Structure 1
Amino acid sequence: PVEVGLVQTLNRPGGNVTGLSNFMNLLTAKRLEVLSETVPNANALALLVNPNNPNADPDTKNLQAAAQALGRRIEVLRAASEDELETAFAAMTQQRLGALFVNIDSFFAAHADQIVALAARHRVPVSYPLRHFVTAGGLMSYDANFAEAFRRAATYAGRILKGEKPADLPVMQPTRFQLAINLRTAKALGLTIPDKFLALADEVIE
C-alpha cells in the first residue's frame, strides 16, 4: 500500500485509507524457494502479471530481486484477457521457460480454471498466489490465511463505525500463511515435491 501511494506509512496511514494488506511481496521469497527446489533445473522462470494492476511493477521487481539472488532469470508475461492468457502460455512454451509464477490479481483469480487448464495443457509447473487455484488442479500455492485476516479486518470496521479515524489505524498484516500442494498435478508433471515442503504443507491433495 505504501509503494502504490495508498498510505503514507503502515503504522500511520494518514488520509482516509487503512485496512488489511495481503503483503504478497513478503511471500515471494518463499514461493520462489518452493518452486525452485521442486523444479531445480528451471533457470529461466516466467512471471504472469496483469498490466492493468498497479502492483504489477513493484511485484515484478520483488520477484526479479529474489530470483537474481538464486541465480534465476525472470521473464515477464502480461495478460488482461482470456485471449492474452492463451498467448502468454504459448509464449512461455516457445521461450522454453521452466516454471511460472502467477501474480495475485482479481482477473487471474476469476479465471483460475482457465489458467490451471492452460498450465496442464502446456505441462507447466506453476506457483499460484491463492489456495483455490490448487483445489482447481494447480500445482502449489503459498498465501495468507485470509479467513483469519478477514476476521481481524472486521474489528476495524467496528472501530471506524464507532468514530475512530482510518488515518490513526495501522495497516494490518497477516500473521498466518498456508502452503497447499497438489500431488496429483505433481505426478502428472513428473515432479517430486521435496519432503520438507510436504511436511510444512497445510493442505496436500492426493
Structure 2
Amino acid sequence: MQRRDFIRLVGAATAWPLAARAQPRSKHIIGAVRVPRRGESAHLEEAFRKGLAQTGYVENQNVVIEWRYAEGDYQRLTGIVTELVDRRVDVIVALGATTTALAAKAATQTIPIVFMLGSDPIKFGLVASFGHPGGNITGVSILQGPVVTKRLDLLHQLIPTARTFAVLIEPDNAFSETERSEAEAAARTLGLELHVANPKRQDEIDAQFPDLIARGVRGIMIGTDAIYLGLSRQIAASAARYAVPTVAQWREYPAAGGLMSYGSSVAEGYRLAATYVGRILNGEKPAEMPVQQPTKFEFVINLATAKALRLTIADKMLAIADEVIE
C-alpha cells in the first residue's frame, strides 16, 4: 500500500465517527423529570403525551421521552438533570416541583427548559417576567399561594367549631417556605391556630397524624408537593384511620378517597407544558413564550368519605362544588 493511500484510508476512518455523530436525529429526545416514584400518578404522564400529540408529536414515533424519577428524593435531582444535559436531549421538562426547575436551570443555559410548577417563577429567579421569560426557560405556573386561604376556609366551613388545624409541608422543596408563610397568613386571617408538620415519607406521615390529633388538630391541609400527590391514596387512608377531615390541591386526592380538594388541575398543567415542548421542537424560543397560568380552579368533594367521617356537607357547599364523588 502506498503512503498516499494509507493516509487517505486513515483520514476516512477518523472522519467517519464525526460524520455519523453529525447526522440529524430521526427522533427528538425529551428529558422529563418527575419527583415521585415511577408509576405514581401515571395518568399525568398520559396528559403530557396528549399535549404533545396536539402539537404533532407521538412518543416512539417521532419523539422519544426519557422519563426520569427522583423516587421522592430531592437530593437526586441535580444528578438526574446533569445526566440529561450530558445526553444532549432537545428539551428538559421539569414537572411538578420548583426545585426540579431550579436544578435544570443551574445545569444548562442552552438546552430549552419547560417547567410545570406551583410557585411564582419570577420570585425564584426562573424567568424575568411572565410575559417575557428571557433565557432558555418557560412553562406553566399553577400558582398555589393565593388559594391556600381558600382551602383552609373550606375546611373551616366544614367544621366551623374547630379552631386548630394543621398543614403538611415537604421541607426539601424550594417552595416550602413560601407555602408555609401563605398557610400561616391564611390561619391568621381566619383567626385559627395552625400547626406545621414536615413529613417526607409515608411512614413519617403516619406518625404525624396521631401526634397532630393529640395537639387538638381537627382538620389537616395537605401541602402541594409532588411527593404528597404521589401518596394521595396512602394519605387518604391515614386520614380515614384517624377520622380527620382533610383538603388537598388536586382532584386526585378525593378521587383516591380523601375528603376534598381545591385548586388547578395538575393534569391540565402537564398537558399545557407538553404543548410548549412541542412548540419548542417546532422552532419557537422559550424566551419569547409567555409563562402560562391556568385560571380554572376545581372544588371536589368525596361525599362517601364525608359520610364515613360522619360529616354533614351543607347544601350551599355542595352547590358550589364542581364535582361530588358519591
Shared fold (TM-score, shorter chain, > 0.5): yes
Name the larger-Rg structure.
2
CA shift for structure 1 position 148: 4.1
Indicate which of 106, 117, 130 corresponds to 1:10: 130
The answer on 1:197 being equivalent to 2:314 is: no
Query: Is 1:139 the counterpart of 2:272 in the alignment?
Result: no
Give the structure 2 partner of residue 176 of structure 1. 296
Q: Describe how 1:145-160 pairs up with structure 2 within 5 A.
A: 145-160=265-280
| 1:111 paired to 2:231 | yes
Is the 2:220–2:245 contact (alpha carbons within 8 Å) kept by the matching residues of 1?
yes
One-letter amino acid of the counterpart of residue 168, structure 1: E
Residue 31 of structure 1 aligns with which residue? 151
Q: Deviations over 1:159-181 (max 9, x none)?
A: 32233321222210012221110
Which residue of 288, 307, 323 maps to 1:187? 307
* Corresponding residue for residue 201 of structure 2: 81
Q: How many residues of Structure 1 are paired with residues of Structure 2 in the alignment?
A: 206
Rounded Cα–Cα distance in structure 2 between residues aligned with 1:115 and 1:151: 26
Structure 2 residue 287 is the aligned partner of structure 1 residue 167: yes
- Please give the residue correspondences for 1:55-66 in structure 2 after superposition, counting only pairs within 5 Å: 55-66=175-186
Distance across 2 between alignment mates of 1:9 and 1:32: 29
Contact kept in structure 1, 2:249 and 2:264, CA below 8 Å:
no
The 1:132/1:147 distance shift into structure 2, 3 A limit, reads: closer
Between the aligned partners of 1:94 and 1:149, the Cα distance in structure 2 is 37
Unaligned runs of 5+ in 2: 1-120
Higher normalized contact order (CA 8 Å, seq sep 6+, divided by chain length): 1
- 2:241 matched to which residue of 1? 121
Supply the RMSD in Å over aligned alpha carbons: 1.7
AA matched with 2:196: V
TM-score, with normalisation over the residues of structure 2? 0.60
Query: What is the match of residue 70 of structure 1?
Result: 190
Unaligned runs of 5+ residues in structure 1 are none
Q: Is the 8 A contact 2:128 2:134 kept in 1?
A: yes
Task: Go from structure 1 to structure 2 and tell me whether the alpha carbon gap of 1:155 and 1:114 turns closer, same or farther (over 3 Å shift).
Answer: closer
Partner Cα distance (1:3, 1:15) in 2: 16
The answer to whether the Cα contact below 8 Å between 1:51 and 1:80 also exists between their aligned partners in 2 is yes
Question: Percent of aligned positions with the same letter in both sequences?
Answer: 44
Q: Residues 82 and 150 (structure 1 numbering): CA distance in 2 closer, same or farther, change over 3 Å? A: closer
Q: Deviations over 1:42-74 (max 9, x none)?
A: 211101011111111101111111221111121
Q: Which amino acid aligns with 2:216?
A: R
1:17–1:113 distance in 2 versus 1, CA, 3 Å: same
CA distance in 2, matches of 1:15, 1:97: 45
Counterpart-to-counterpart distance in 1, 2:122 and 2:161 = 36
